Amino acid sequence: MTGQKRGITADDFYRMRYASDPQLSPDGTAVAYVLTMVDEELAYRSHLFIRSLTAQTSTPLTDGAVRDSAPRWSPDGTRICFVSKRSGKSQLWLIDVDGGEPRQLTRCRTGATNPVWSPDGKRIAFSSLLSPDDSFADTEGDEKKDEPKKAIVVGRMKYKSDDLGYVYDVNRQIAVVDVETGAITPLTEGDYQHTVGAWSPDGKWLAITANRVDDPDLQHSIDVHLVSADGGEWKKLTRSKGTFFFPTWSPDGKKLAYIGSESPTQLIATQKKVWMSDLDSGRQDCITEGWDVQVGDATIGDVRSPGHPNPGAVWTEDGEGMYFLASERGSSGIYHTTLDGEVTQVVGGERNVYGFTLHERGQTAVIAVSDPFTPGDLYAVNLATGEEVRLTDVNRDLFAELELPAPIGLEYEGEDGLPLHGWLLKPVGYEPGRKYPLVLQIHGGPHSMYGHTFFHEFHLLAAKGYAVLYTNPRGSLGYGEKFVQACCGDYGGNDYLDLMSAVKYACGRFDFIDTDRMGVAGGSYGGFMTNWIVGQTNVFKAAVTDRSICNWLSFYGVSDIGYYFAEEEIQASPFGNPEKLWQHSPIRHVANIETPLLIMHGEQDHRCPIEQAEQLYIALQRQGKAPVRFIRFPGASHELSRSGDPQQRVLRLQYTCEWFDTYLLQPQKVVME
Residue 142 pLDDT: 66
Helix, strand, or coil here: 203?
A: coil
Q: What pLDDT, in 10s, does the model give residues 205-233?
A: 999 999 999 898 988 899 999 999 988 88
Residue 498 pLDDT: 98
Residue 203 pLDDT: 97
Domain assignment present for 238: no
Residue 132 pLDDT: 87
Q: Give the number of domains in the chain.
A: 2
Residue 146 pLDDT: 62
Domain assignment present for 340: no
Q: Which residues contact 149 (CB under 8 A, 6 or more apart)?
A: none
Kind and range of the H or E run holding 579: helix 578-583
Of 104, 139, 164, which residue is a domain's last? 104
Q: DSSP for 450-488?
A: --SS--HHHHHHHHTT-EEEEEE-TT-SSS-HHHHHTTT
- CA-to-CA dists, residue 14 to 39, 453, 460, 647, 650, angstroms: 8, 19, 14, 9, 8
Q: Which domain holds residue 72?
A: 17-104
- SS3 sequence, 126-190? EEEEECCCCCCCCECCCCHHHCCCCCCCCCCCCCEECCCEECCCCEEEEEEEECCCCCEEECCCC
d(CA 109, CA 164): 16
d(CA 269, CA 292): 14
Residue 671 pLDDT: 36
Closest C-alpha to 349, from 378, 364, 369, 366: 369
Domain assignment present for 570: no
DSSP-derived letter for residue 67 is B
pTM for this predicted structure: 0.96
Q: Which residues are catalytic?
A: 524, 638
Q: Which residues pair with 57 in a beta bridge?
A: none
Domain assignment present for 418: yes
Q: What pLDDT, in 10s, does the model give residues 388-425?
A: 999 999 999 999 999 999 999 999 999 999 999 999 99
Q: What is the β-pairing status of strands 343-347 and 321-328? A: unpaired
Residue 568 pLDDT: 95
Domain assignment present for 195: no
- CA-to-CA dists, residue 204 to 26, 49, 197, 198, angstroms: 21, 32, 14, 11
d(CA 296, CA 244): 12
Q: DSSP for 521-562?
A: EEETHHHHHHHHHHTT----SEEEEES----HHHHHHHSTTH
**Is residue 313 within 8 Å of 259, Cβ to Cβ?**
yes
Of 104, 119, 152, which residue is a domain's last? 104
d(CA 564, CA 562): 6
Domain assignment present for 467: yes
Kind and range of the H or E run holding 636: none
Domain assignment present for 517: yes
**Is residue 80 within 8 Å of 25, Cβ to Cβ?**
no
Q: What is the CATH number of the domain that holds 611?
A: 3.40.50.1820
Low pLDDT (below 70) residues in the chain:
1-3, 142-146, 264, 306-307, 666-673
Amino acid letter at 121?
Answer: G
Q: What is the β-pairing status of strands 294-295 and 193-199? A: unpaired
Of 104, 131, 147, which residue is a domain's last? 104
Domain assignment present for 573: no
